[in-house]
Amino acid sequence: MDILYILYIKMSTPFKSRPALLLIDIQEGFNDHEYWGGDRNNLDAESNMQLLLDTWRAKQLPLFHIKHCSLEEGSPLAKTHQGNQFKPFISPKTSEPIIEKHANSAFIGTDLYDQLKNNAIETVVIIGLTTDHCVSTTTRMAGNYGFETILIEDAVATFPKKGVDGTLYSAQLIHDTAIASLKDEFATILSTSQVIKQLN
């Protein structure tokens, strides 16, 4: 292979290896904004999630659907609740693995790590809900496990949060600070368009 082509590939893509897409908790229970504290940020997240999923499927790249099965009574994400279901636009195909979890991290109490390693996956691309909870925790663990970790900032979203003194912090602020704390330390932060451009 021409050395200039090899150098071009190395410079033009952030991926060290074939990337796996981790779709974190894209479930109907998150449609209940009131339960989660108020209006969500990034209402375009789902369209970006779908665009990424369609791209991964078209290129036959590995992907994993992560589903949160809350053990908390009354949670919209409890397995007995309709909210536990995936949002229709990302409905998994028969061949696509589903990882059920009870903790914030997709690696805790699951075989996700083993599945990634057994399939020689070294790069994970993370999207889903919510930025500061399960997305953040999974991203941190992926980085600590040594995976090349890419977080797609416009394909994640979250809700407002109250501080210990009762101060209400907006969903956008929570999102932005969560992303900032992950940037470079645990993950490379990219947009949907940047990732698709690299894959193409």
Both tokens of 182, joined, read: 């992950």
Q: Which of 123, 165, 119, 171 is nearest to 145 (CA)?
A: 123
Place of tokens 């501080």: 163
Flag whether pLDDT at 2 surpasses 80: no
Question: Any idea where the domains of the chain sit in the sequence?
Answer: 15-199
Q: CA triplet 136, 29, 156: central angle to 5 degrees?
A: 30
User: Mean per-residue pLDDT for 45-70?
Assistant: 98
Q: What whole-number percentage of the chain has pLDDT above 90?
A: 90
Q: Which CATH class, in words, describes the domain spanning 15-199?
A: alpha beta
CA–CA distance, 135 with 68 (Å, rounded to integer)? 11
Cβ–Cβ under 8 Å, residues 22 and 125: yes
Write the pLDDT tens digit of every residue in 72-131.
989 999 999 999 999 999 999 999 999 999 999 999 999 999 999 999 999 999 999 999
CA–CA distance, 144 with 126 (Å, rounded to integer)? 15
The per-residue pLDDT for 11 is 36
